[in-house]
Amino acid sequence: MKGFKKLVLTGVLALGPIIGAGAVSAAPSHTVSSNDTLWAISQKYGISLKSLITVNPQLVNPNLIWPGIVLNIPGKSTGTGSGYGTGSGYGTGSGYGSGNGSQQGTGTDSTTQSSYASQVVNLVNQERAKAGLSPLASDSALTKVALDKAKDMYEKGYFDHNSPTYGSPFDMMRSYGIRYTYAGENIAKGQRTPQEVMDSWMNSPGHRQNIMSPNFNKIGVAYYNGVWVQMFIKN
């Protein structure tokens, strides 16, 4: 029986009280003052007006902003990916990467979970070493967050960065006490082995960018009933 493989990318966030996700990076959020306009804010951060509007979908009418609202500020880096977006900030991505694949993995015991997670960390660091990048340290607290996210997706039957239980990956990290200056998440479903899921991620430009980003120094990886989660941070 053929399974259905899925991949989704969330990019990184950067400094400050951040409330969004981008495909590559995001700078601090900005609290609107009485004299602000979107144009003035875009000029202040050296970004385009279009990218500022794109990362703030909560603005029903971009011509109307008011003091006290918090705006997401996209980063200047560029990149491509599925899920949350392409390029800076939220962007507009292509959604899930998908394809017909092998039967979904079913290993659920703690030994399998731990072994698969460790293997993925090793594979990530092998790829980073080839590019001359520093290895990512496996973080036990972040690994717990990743495992709870994988379980939540499996048990509640969804496949998305935004959890009905925990909110966005970044909300979830903060609720678990994870501190970061950059953060990111890759998720996948249906791959049977660590090598298979890594091949899928590395063949997707956006997911690969998270794996190979010099902005991260820690990683948490989880596997649960065919659901894979990578979480990345720098702190």
- pLDDT at 88 (0 to 100): 27
- pLDDT at 98 (0 to 100): 34
- pLDDT at 47 (0 to 100): 78
Query: What are the backbone dihedrals phi and psi of residue 217, each rounded to the nearest 5 degrees, phi first?
Result: -130, -5
- pLDDT at 78 (0 to 100): 32
Q: How far is CA 203 from CA 27, 41, 63, 198, in A?
A: 27, 36, 40, 8
Residue 222 or residue 22, greater confidence: 222
- pLDDT at 24 (0 to 100): 30
Q: Which stretch of 35-39, 126-130, 218-222 has the lowest confidence by average pLDDT? A: 35-39
Residue 190 or residue 44, greater confidence: 190
Domains identified in the chain and CATH numbers: 26-74 (3.10.350.10), 95-234 (3.40.33.10)
**223 touches 188 (CB < 8 A):** no
Helix axes 194-202, 110-130, angle to 10 degrees: 40
Helix axes 110-130, 140-156, angle to 10 degrees: 120
Question: What tens digit of pLDDT does each residue of 167-221 get?
Answer: 999 999 999 999 999 999 999 999 999 999 999 999 988 899 999 999 999 999 9
**How far apart, in whole angstroms, are the C-alpha atoms of residue 89 and residue 76?**
8
DSSP 216: -
- pLDDT at 127 (0 to 100): 97
b or e along 10-33 (b: 16 or more beta carbons within 10 Å of the residue's beta carbon)? bbbbbeeebbbbbbbbbbebbebe
Residue 207: count of CB within 10 angstroms of its CB: 28
DSSP structure string for 88-133: SSS----B-EEEEESPPP---SHHHHHHHHHHHHHHHHHHHHHTTP
- pLDDT at 18 (0 to 100): 27
Q: Which stretch of 48-57, 77-86, 125-134, 197-206 has the lowest confidence by average pLDDT? A: 77-86
pLDDT band at 7 (very low <50, low <70, confident <90, very high): low
Q: How far is CA 216 from CA 38, 126, 134, 191, in A?
A: 30, 15, 9, 24
Percent of the chain at pLDDT above 70? 71
pLDDT band at 147 (very low <50, low <70, confident <90, very high): very high
- pLDDT at 8 (0 to 100): 53
Residue 161 has pLDDT above 60, yes or no: yes
* 46-50, 83-87, 124-128, 161-165: which is most confident: 124-128
